[in-house]
A and B are shown apart, each in its own frame.
Chain A
């Protein structure tokens, strides 16, 4: 397998597994929600994300137990982690290939995203 092909397969795997997992979790969440509340889209604080930042929010998901709310949060989190893991994987790949130009480029992207997720 040529270098590019390997990266393509790796990133494709990251993306597809992230999206499928998230989609599955969100679908179950929506089904549970629909059974309980029907058609209505509730916009109350229970369904609003309010948190210090992304990484502080992660451990709080379990608080609602196995509920539509907890599953919706988990699905959204998995979704947001998908590109994050994608850039981590790319950086690891370029590091192992000793491709320093692209290692720096992906490191910059990772640093900016991490900083923004930590400070907002």
Chain B
């Protein structure tokens, strides 16, 4: 069985990478912990608690810097929380082996979605639909690397809501932030600039994780001795990561994102087969 210091160290690293990429730390800690001998359902329950910490810790500085689109986030949260409650309920009943394959399959979708768009720095000429205008989904942020304010419009919030519902299911079911998928939905459907999308995804993650955690809370799967070190490790790691994000280009965050996602697809497939 894994020791306290290892859990804290693994969580720190996961939080750091999760914060830079918008993936959320638990997509990394959950597989790592299962590798170290923690039953997958216990890792998931503790993971979802730690995401609340990762997300809220990083989001606090992004929000203050005007990087996240709060209105879009609040609209989309309606969909993610319902999904997360459903997803967590599924995990309570499903065979553990299946969870590894769900993990891999889920990561695969986000990988395919983003690769095509690697060259685009900022979305251009977005025409808003009715729902987006009604919700007032526009925004601006200061892009440090471009050295100017970037204004943008979002579109198709209802379709994005559908995508976020799926993200919520994955989040609740696998105890992850589902940041990869959320970022893909933000960029491909809403047409959100890359940097806004990862910070907005981080902001939404905390609420989604709380919805999932509410289901695990009295399930008997939640151990304080796992959740506490994971929460501390990921939060501190994420705060460290958020100090660096400002200095990275959209392209760099995407490339890190792609490498990390690819790595975990392979890892979870192998685990699922071996289980």
Binding site for B on A (CB under 8 A): 4-5, 7-9, 11-12, 15-16, 18-19, 22-23, 26-27, 29-30, 33-34, 38-43, 47-54, 57, 69, 72-73, 75-76, 79-80, 82-84, 86-87, 90, 101-102, 105-106, 108-109, 112-113, 116-117, 120
Query: Is A33 a contact partner of B225 (Cβ separation < 8 A)?
Result: yes
Query: Is B232 a contact partner of A19 (Cβ separation < 8 A)?
Result: no
Query: Is A12 a contact partner of B63 (Cβ separation < 8 A)?
Result: yes
B74 within 8 A of A: yes
Sample (5) of A-B pairs whose CB atoms are under 8 Å apart: A23-B231, A43-B223, A48-B224, A76-B231, A101-B136
Task: Give the distance to chain A from B53, nearest Cβ to Cβ, in Å.
Answer: 6
Query: Is A41 a contact partner of B52 (Cβ separation < 8 A)?
Result: no
Query: Is B226 a contact partner of A43 (Cβ separation < 8 A)?
Result: yes
- Nearest chain-A residue to B204 (Cβ)? A83
B154 within 8 A of A: no
B101 within 8 A of A: no
Q: Which among A4, A8, A19, A47 has the greatest number of chain B C-beta atoms within 10 A?
A: A19
Query: Is A109 a contact partner of B207 (Cβ separation < 8 A)?
Result: yes
- Residue from B3, B60, B222 in contact with A48 in the complex, judged by beta carbons closer than 8 Å: B222
Known contacts A11-B70, A48-B220; 5 further A-B pairs (Cβ under 8 A): A34-B4, A47-B223, A47-B224, A109-B74, A120-B216
- Residue from A39, A80, A105 in contact with B3 in the complex, judged by beta carbons closer than 8 Å: A39
Query: Is B64 a contact partner of A117 (Cβ separation < 8 A)?
Result: no
Task: Give the distance to chain A from B232, nearest Cβ to Cβ, in Å.
Answer: 5
CA distance A38 to B225 in the complex (A): 12
B135 within 8 A of A: yes
Query: Is A113 a contact partner of B232 (Cβ separation < 8 A)?
Result: no
Query: Is A101 a contact partner of B135 (Cβ separation < 8 A)?
Result: yes
- Nearest chain-A residue to B53 (Cβ)? A79
- Nearest chain-B residue to A29 (Cβ)? B228
CA distance A23 to B235 in the complex (A): 8
Which residues of chain A have C-beta atoms less than 8 A from B213's C-beta? 80
* CB contact under 8 A between A87 and B207, given known A23-B235, A30-B229: yes
- Nearest chain-B residue to A84 (Cβ)? B210
Query: Is A116 a contact partner of B215 (Cβ separation < 8 A)?
Result: yes
Interface string of B41-84 (1 = CB under 8 A from A): 01000000100110011011101101000110011011001100
B14 within 8 A of A: no
